[in-house]
């Protein structure tokens, strides 16, 4: 693959090792953007991005030292055109238990707190800290600058089995609004809230049919739907403080 040039500026993408993040990173690189991306585990996709000229850094954003190392890697870049916060973890709530004594209750609270904290750390705390640390480089961009948060459909409707996850994504959407107010007109800040975009390889036919039936469009559009929305925001000179839903009309699929 031919190495990409940096005529369109630097885009930082968190969580680009697979699926939506990898697809968007590869496409943006092919379009001429310089890339600096984070990943948790080395994948064939990350290796391909590196070979094509992307700067790829292993990072665990639950750990502040690892985040500091990631931020330090941007020291030699004078400006950032956009930050796309894609790093995510879809962790379910633990089965509810009814404790009969304080020791059992304490253990239960610690387990539930660990799930809640993990979701907040990756989906709200990490973007908050990265945006603050990298703001000078966003403001240094001569072609405008964007912050794009990847949230989730459940941020607006809740989730019975992923309450901590949904709450953390809702926190990220609120950060989107606060940052848009603070950084306009220098930096546009928006969020993209997908529902079903793509299946996992091990999803069975029954699950796929049930999931598709939740939206009006009844399709899994694939990661390119997210990419096109990112490009739409990057090319806009006016949109900020918005959460763009990618849900196939799911909000209108009434019982």
Paired sense of beta strands 82-85 and 187-194, if any: unpaired
Q: How many CA atoms lie within 13 A of 170 on its CB side?
A: 13
Asked about 165 being catalytic, the answer comes back as: yes
Taking the C-alpha atoms of residue 252 and residue 242, their distance in angstroms, rounded to an integer, is 19
What is the Cα gyration radius of the chain?
19
**DSSP 8-state class, residue 251:** G
User: Which residue is catalytic, options 33, 77, 165, 207?
Assistant: 165
Region label for 55, one of left (φ > 0), alpha (ψ between -120 and 50) or beta (otherwise): beta
- Cβ–Cβ < 8 Å for 191, 242: yes
Helix (H, G, I), strand (E, B) or coil at 3: coil
Task: Point out the residues that are catalytic.
Answer: 165
């Amino acid at each position: 693959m031919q190495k990409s040039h940096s005529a369109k500026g630097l885009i930082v993408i968190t969580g680009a090792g697979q699926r939506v993040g990898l697809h968007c990173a590869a496409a943006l690189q092919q379009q001429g953007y310089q890339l600096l991306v984070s990943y948790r585990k080395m994948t064939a996709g990350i290796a391909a991005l590196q070979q094509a000229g992307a700067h790829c850094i292993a990072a665990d954003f639950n750990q502040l030292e690892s985040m500091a190392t990631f931020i330090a890697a941007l020291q030699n870049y004078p400006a950032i055109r956009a930050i796309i916060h894609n790093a995510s973890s879809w962790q379910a709530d633990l089965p509810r238990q009814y404790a009969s004594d304080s020791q059992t209750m304490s253990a239960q609270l610690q387990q539930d707190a660990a799930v809640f904290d993990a979701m907040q750390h990756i989906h709200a705390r990490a973007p908050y800290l990265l945006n603050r640390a990298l703001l000078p480089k966003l403001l240094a961009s001569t072609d405008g600058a964007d912050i794009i948060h990847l949230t989730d459909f459940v941020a607006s409707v809740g989730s019975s089995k992923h309450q901590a996850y949904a709450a953390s994504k809702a926190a990220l959407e609120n950060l989107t609004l606060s940052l848009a107010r603070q950084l306009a007109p220098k930096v546009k800040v928006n969020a993209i809230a997908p529902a079903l975009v793509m299946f996992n390889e091990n999803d069975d036919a029954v699950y796929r049919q049930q999931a598709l039936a939740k939206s009006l469009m009844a399709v899994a559009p694939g990661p390119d739907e997210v990419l096109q929305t990112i490009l739409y925001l990057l090319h806009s000179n006016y949109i900020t403080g918005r959460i763009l839903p990618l849900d196939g009309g799911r909000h209108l699929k009434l019982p």
